[in-house]
Amino acid sequence: MAVREIRLEGDPILKKISREVTNIDERTLQILDDMVETMYAADGLGLAAVQVGILRRLVVIDIGQGPIKMINPKITKREGMTISREGCLSVPDVNGMVRRPKTVSVEYTDIEGKTVTIENAQGLLKKALCHELDHLDGIVYTDVAEVVFDMDDIEKYEELYDVKPVCRGTNSYDYETELHEVN
């Protein structure tokens, strides 16, 4: 495994649409392993292949329950709406407030080629799924955030949006400020 370089905002590749993976070969598995290692090295909770410069529909997520490796993931159901804080390894030192569904269901292919469904994900997993799957379509959260702010200003925005951290992590992404229902 190898830690790969994370592409940062301003790199045009982050705006590109990733291609479907048609063949789960050694290279695909290697990329997924490298993505997991890169995510851990950067202390993140999720990573899309485009963030390491590879335009394939591959996502890894670990919200503290072990790594999930996803091939061609897609959202099959969205319900409700919340607003919460997000950050991104490709956009250091800032966070934003982003509207997302309250729950999503996602279907993906696992490394053995089996179809897996995550039903009605919520909270941190939901947020990571929405955020990482957006990357596959060239969308960085700063494109859709209501507001983007310096990390030092977080308390001001928590007050403005009436969101309270459930747990405060050490990095820009590892923390859950929802769940504030929005009509």
Binding residues for Ni ion (CB under 5 A): 88
From 86, 132, 176, 178, the catalytic residue: 132
Q: Quote the least distance from Cβ 4 to Ni ion, whole Å.
A: 15
Q: Name the residue type at position 4.
A: R
Question: Which lies closer to Ni ion via its Cβ, residue 88 or residue 133?
Answer: 88
Q: Would you give the end-to-end CA distance of the chain in angstroms?
A: 45
CB nearer to Ni ion: pick between 93 and 112: 93
The residue nearest Ni ion at its CB is 88
Judged by beta carbon, residue 24 or residue 55, the one nearer Ni ion is: 55
Quick one: 114 exposed, middle or buried, by C-beta within 10 A (0-12, 13-18, 19+)?
Answer: exposed
Active site residue 158: no
Whole-number Å distance between alpha carbons of 89 and 171: 9
Least separation in angstroms between residue 8's CB and Ni ion is 11
Helical residues (DSSP H) of the chain, grouped into ranges: 26-41, 123-136, 141-144, 154-161
Task: Output phi, psi for 90, to 5 deg.
Answer: -85, -5
Q: How far is the CB of 88 from Ni ion (least distance, A)?
A: 3
What residues are labeled active site? 132
